[in-house]
Every structure is written in structure tokens, then in C-alpha cells.
Amino acid sequence: MDKNITITQKYLERGHTQMEVDSVHSLIERKLKNIEIFLPSQYATLTKQARKKPSPYRVIQPDHTFFKDYGIKEYQVYDSIRPGRTSGDDCVVDLRVLKYNPDGTIQYKKHFNDDLTLLPRRPRNIITLANCVPLLFSSRVPILESKYLHLQQLKNVIPVDCHQFYDNLPFKKK
């Protein structure tokens, strides 16, 4: 809403699992074939290299500060995206398309060939979301100590210049 962008979200139907994004995934998978990956950042680099024309893919590498806690009710424009209200009415699993409009309204389709219908729910009046929603994580999410120790053992087969990444992983005891 803050950026005045319309987002259309499509859900797959059984038996119709091909989507436009499949070609993107296919290009990336071909680029990754027979490549050794030792660091998460290498995925970003190879993803950018997967396409040259018309331009390389734009890759955003999120860290813990990227994720916001939209589970807090005060920051939710809608309490539900279910089109129905009572038993037997349409449910979220019946939806195939959701269209989020810049004015805060949501439209939906139960079938791809249907016309968009306004979600029969009233949005809450929220002035801005992006700048005031609290972070979901205050620091990097720690892995279990056992996983950390297993990753340390794998350093025998990982190039030395990658060891620092594994040494700096936050971990917690059970």
C-alpha cells in the first residue's frame, strides 16, 4: 500500500502446475548443475548469472532484519482472507487468485476464468505498515548446537576461505 503497488497472487490447481516462474527456476537449476556450493551467498551469485538477457536476475539476500512480525493483529489490514463467514461458505483453500490493491482492498477468484470479486470483508484503517511493523527477529536465528557441531565436522571438505561463515553461525544448546 505504501508503494502503491498491485500484487496478484496465484495458487496452483491440481493437474495445472506449470507457471511462468517455472522457467526462472529451470534456468537457475541448470546453472547450479554440477556446481559445488559452500556458502548461501553463492546461490545469489549463481542466480544472477543464470540469465544474461534481457538482464541478469535481481537478487535480494535477506537477513534477520528483513522479516517483519505481521502476526500482530494491529498491523493486519484484514482479520481473514476467507471469502465466506459461516460453515459451508467458501474457504481460503477454494481460492485460486488474490489481488491486493493499493487502496487496501482485496479481490479474489475461485477459478482462473472467473471475474475478480471484492473480498466481502472490511479492511482496518491502517495509515502505514512498512515503517512501523516490528522485526520478527531481533538477531540472527540460532541453529541447534548439534547442527553447529555437524557443520564444523564438514569443514574438512569445505574450502578454508569459507570456514569463517560456519565458525560465526549462532547456535543454542537444547
Alpha-carbon dihedral 141, 142, 147, 149, rounded to 10 degrees: 140
What is the residue type of 116?
A: L
Q: What are the start-end ranges of the E strands in 13-134?
A: 97-100, 106-109, 117-118
Q: Taking the mean position of all CA atoms in its chain, how far away is CA 80?
A: 19
Q: Between 1 and 95, name the one with better pLDDT.
A: 95
pLDDT higher than threshold 80 for residue 21: no
Burial environment of residue 162 by CB neighbours within 10 A (0 to 12, 13 to 18, 19 or more): middle
Give the pLDDT score at 112.
86
Amino acid identity, position 82: R
Q: What is the pTM of this model?
A: 0.69
Average pLDDT over residues 49-78: 90
Residue pointed to by grid coordinates 557441531:
149
Please report how many Cα atoms fall inside a 13 Å half-sphere around the Cα of residue 12, on the Cβ side. 9
What is the structure's pLDDT at 172?
A: 95
Residues paired with 106 in a beta bridge: 100
Mean pLDDT of the chain: 88
The yes-or-no verdict on residue 47 having pLDDT over 90 is yes
Residue 97: strand pairing partners: 10, 109
pLDDT tens-digit profile of 109-139?
Answer: 998 889 999 998 877 776 655 568 899 999 9
pLDDT tens per residue, range 73-110: 888 888 888 888 788 787 888 889 999 998 888 999 99
Please list, in sequence order, all residues whose beta carbon lies within 8 angstroms of the beta carbon of residue 79, skipping any fewer than 6 positions away: 73, 121, 124
